[in-house]
Amino acid sequence: MPRKYIYLIITYVAMQSSGLLVQPFMPLIENQDVFIVAWSVMTFAVALVICLIILRHEMKDFFQLREKKIGSIILWSFLGIILVMISQYTAIIIEQVVFGIKPGSKNTMDLMNVARQAPIFIVIISVLGPILEELVFRKAIFGSLYKRMNFFFAALLSGVIFAAVHMDFEHILTYTAIGMVFAFLYVETKRIIVPIIAHMAINTFAVIGQLSMDPEEIERQMEKMEQLMMILIGGQ
């Protein structure tokens, strides 16, 4: 793995672990919820800037449009959104039918609860997070693995790592499937901007969908989905 990609991963890990630096001072902070949100936004933004500096010599892959026209990028991004949705719902059905796992991600619910209390947190979910994750998990990790093994195993391994980082192991199949779709988009277009756009769009749709409903309505939708799953598998 190139040294710059190692630095990229170190930056991401440091950002995710940065809360440990301020943890001893939390009892001294009056409004801890506001501080945590502000700290998260700041560390994500700083990490992204650092990652872009590390990849400054590859920024043409980010912005240059000579090889791929804007229309092609938009088309592939739209196709990517559809593929992610298909893979996501397929994984949810498999989780329900094979493993008996109920739909609904605790990780997503926790993030949405924070977003309801502090809307600025949406910047992390819809913008900063997707860009960082695609640079780290697709460009650095998947890209390095793909040079040493075939697409399926490289996408699967990087997808599992992507899933594990989200700390929602009950739905690891769903996160892995989504990660593999993003890897496919990266390989097919040879441009990291495409999975970034698709990732941002999917997260934004999730935010809009979740925030437009109150918690009780979300619970009712989950129950309806579970009932639908039971019907599909022939349950009573």
Per-residue confidence (pLDDT) for residue 109, from 0 to 100:
72
In a domain, 164, yes or no: yes
Cα gap 169→51, rounded to integer Å = 27
Per-residue confidence (pLDDT) for residue 232, from 0 to 100:
41
Residues marked active site are found at 133, 166
In a domain, 207, yes or no: yes
Contacts 24+ apart (CB under 8 A), 176-180: 176/91, 177/87, 177/88, 177/90, 177/91, 178/84, 178/87, 178/88, 178/91, 178/202, 179/137, 179/138, 179/155, 180/87, 180/155, 180/156
The count of domains in the chain is 1
Per-residue confidence (pLDDT) for residue 87, from 0 to 100:
92
Q: What residues have CB less than 8 Å from 172, skipping those under 6 apart?
A: 160, 163, 164
In a domain, 59, yes or no: no
Quick one: which of 167, 176, 188 has its CA closest to 111?
167
Burial annotation 181-205 (CB, 10 A radius, 16+ → b, else e): bbbbbbbebebbbbbbbbbbbbbee
Per-residue confidence (pLDDT) for residue 181, from 0 to 100:
95
Per-residue confidence (pLDDT) for residue 103, from 0 to 100:
66
Cα gap 189→212, rounded to integer Å = 33
- Contact by Cβ (8 Å): 48, 132: yes
In a domain, 153, yes or no: yes
Output the six-digit token pair for 58: 């590859």
In a domain, 69, yes or no: yes
Cα gap 142→122, rounded to integer Å = 26
In a domain, 44, yes or no: no
- Contact by Cβ (8 Å): 105, 173: no
In a domain, 45, yes or no: no
Per-residue confidence (pLDDT) for residue 66, from 0 to 100:
53
Q: What range does the domain containing 141 cover?
A: 64-232
Q: What's this model's pTM, rounded to 2 decimal places?
A: 0.82
In a domain, 105, yes or no: yes
Per-residue confidence (pLDDT) for residue 116, from 0 to 100:
78
Reading the chain (236 residues) residue by residue, the pLDDT tens digits are 889 999 999 999 999 898 888 888 888 787 888 888 888 899 999 999 999 999 887 766 555 555 557 788 889 999 999 999 999 889 888 888 877 777 666 667 777 777 777 788 888 888 999 999 999 999 999 999 999 999 999 999 999 999 888 887 888 899 999 999 999 999 998 889 999 999 999 999 888 877 766 555 545 544 544 444 444 444 44
